[in-house]
Amino acid sequence: MEVAIAGGGIGGLALALNLHRRGISCHVYETAPEIRELGVGITLLPHAMRELTTLGVQDVITAAGIENVESCFFNRFGQLIYKEPRGKLAGYSYPEIGIHRGKLHKILYDEALKVLGRDRITTNRQCLGVDQGDSGISLRMRETTSGAELPSVKADVAIACDGINSALRRQHYPDEKVAFSGINTWRGVTRRKPILTGRSYMRVGSIRTGKIVIYPIIDKVDDQGNQLINWMAEIQTENAAINDWNKSGKLEDFLPIYAGWKFDWLDVGDLIRNADQILEYPMVDKDPVDRWTFGRVTFLGDAAHPMYPRGSNGAAQALIDARTLADIVAKSPDAAAALKEYETVRLAPASKVVRTNREFPPDFLNIKVEELTGDKPFNNLDDYISQDELRALSDNYKKIAGFAVESVK
């Protein structure tokens, strides 16, 4: 069988590596002219690291990132609400790693080049659509830089790994639009001294009054002992205009919310002002659909189930998709039947995570405490809610999102 993979992001490269390990021939076609270390941070939860470990890249990822030891929840006054151990310290078999997204992408790309060979990964190729017949598919292509149309690519099946704006998905859902609920985000990276343990993942405030997620992604980024700190600020407002993810972020659009957040353990405004770069994004996803597979074409990762970029679950779900699809294709002599079986196995669980990230985000604890305290500093949090109750809320999210300790083997 020959598999054409449209998109060489995290999901597409993971699929290629999984297929190769099972002896299945594939070719990756990536839109970007070259693979560069772009973007900001990403957290790899234990179930994501489980998938990456099977691909043989755990050690290089761990060396390139920072292993989180705790997750801390604070209100917007800098008061600790709740904290818990993470990764191996929480009983998982795998660590939780914060890493630069561009570094993760490059690690997977380099591994794919080494294992598959350079002739099996083609950049500067934009997939326009796919035609199919009883015996195979024809992937229509053009060169990204010039816009010139190129000869179609033939294969047995095509897997759409081309992201939230997938051209292959658009063929079957031409009128679909992203869902925006008024939450805009700004992301940045800042060089500074370690915060708290230097291995802490922090959620401060809530989307109603201003929230920021902070965690380190590179240790000892310079000779002064600084770390590269990733942060994402977000707020929900009525009648908000949707941010443009193709633009750089402007401090004046969001800094006033955080300028007064000066705690004894962090000056948030200073963290934002000193960023190396700031990018703006809308918090968008798409409504789950009841079908991913159309004959010899199926969707994977953000092309299948675009979800809110919070809870650190988008990459994990794409990695699980990749391993699941490769397992099924390896066992089935019927390509179209294999793609349909993959859909049967993965569509419902992934759709559940999409809805969970909308309705019950991991910072629900912050929102709950904000409601109970009237969005004021507290003297004794136990007067409002106990640590056991907060732990139960956190554990429930992990179960719904598919990474409770007992489910990550």
Question: Hunting for tokens 């007064």 — which residue is that?
Answer: 260
| Residue-wise DSSP of 320-359 | HHHHHHHHHHHH-S-HHHHHHHHHHHHHHHHHHHHHHHHH
pTM of this prediction? Answer: 0.94
pLDDT of amino acid 311: 66
| Closest alpha carbon to 370 in 213, 254, 209 | 209
- 353: tokens are 């995570």
**371 and 230, same structural domain?**
yes
Pair (193, 276) in one structural domain: yes
| pLDDT single digits (tens) 81-134 | 999 999 999 999 999 999 999 999 999 999 999 999 999 999 999 999 999 988
Give the residue with greater pLDDT, 272 vs 312. 272
Rounded (to 5) percent helix, strand, coil in the chain: 35, 30, 35
344 and 383: one domain?
no
With H, G, I as helix, E, B as strand and everything else as coil, classify residue 383: helix
Mark whether 212 and 280 lie in a shared domain: yes
Does 247 fall in a domain? yes
Task: Supply the CATH number for residue 242's domain.
Answer: 3.30.9.30
Domain boundary residue, one of 340, 359, 378: 359
Residues 13 and 143 in one domain: yes
Q: Please check whether residue 49 lies inside any domain of the structure.
A: no
Predicted local confidence at residue 183, as pLDDT = 86
Has residue 368 been placed in a domain? Answer: yes
Q: What is the pLDDT of residue 65?
A: 96
Q: Which pLDDT band holds residue 355 (cuts at 50, 70, 90)?
A: confident
Do 220 and 125 fall into the same domain? no
Asked whether residue 397 is domain-assigned, the answer is: yes
pLDDT at 381: 97
pLDDT value of position 407: 81
Q: Would 305 be classed as within a structural domain?
A: yes
Q: What is the distance between the alpha carbons of residues 96 and 62, in angstroms, rounded to a whole number?
A: 9
Same domain flag for 105 and 19 = yes
CB neighbours of residue 114 within 10 Å: 9
- Give me the amino acid identity at 247: K
For residue 77, which of 388, 384, 374, 389 has the smallest C-alpha distance?
Answer: 374
Q: Determine the average pLDDT of the residues in 141-163.
A: 96
Q: In which residue are the tokens 């759409």 written?
A: 160
Per-residue pLDDT band at 284 (split at 50, 70, 90): confident
**Does 269 share its domain with 304?**
no
CATH number at residue 311: 3.50.50.60
Number of domains in the chain: 2
Q: Which two tokens stand for residue 236?
A: 């929900």
Contact 168, 161 (CB under 8 A): no
**Residue 348 domain-assigned?**
yes
**Least confident segment among 32-46, 182-196, 312-326:** 32-46
- First-to-last C-alpha distance (Å) of the chain: 30
Residues 233 and 365 in one domain: yes
Residues 33 and 116 in one domain: yes
* Domain ranges, residue 235: 179-286+361-407
Report whether pLDDT(239) > 80: no
Mean of pLDDT over the chain: 93
Domain assignment present for 47: no
Q: How far is CA 379 from CA 79, 80, 81, 204, 372, in A?
A: 10, 11, 12, 18, 13
Using the 8-state DSSP alphabet, how is residue 78 labeled?
S
In which element (H, E) is residue 214 found? strand 210-218
Same domain, 223 and 347: no
Kindly state whether residues 125 and 162 are assigned to the same domain.
yes
Please state which of the ranges 5-14, 29-38, 244-253, 343-352 shows the lowest mean pLDDT: 244-253
Q: Is residue 75 part of a domain?
A: no
pLDDT band at 372 (very low <50, low <70, confident <90, very high): very high
- The amino acid sitting at 170 is R
Q: How far apart are CA 276 and CA 292, in angstroms?
A: 39
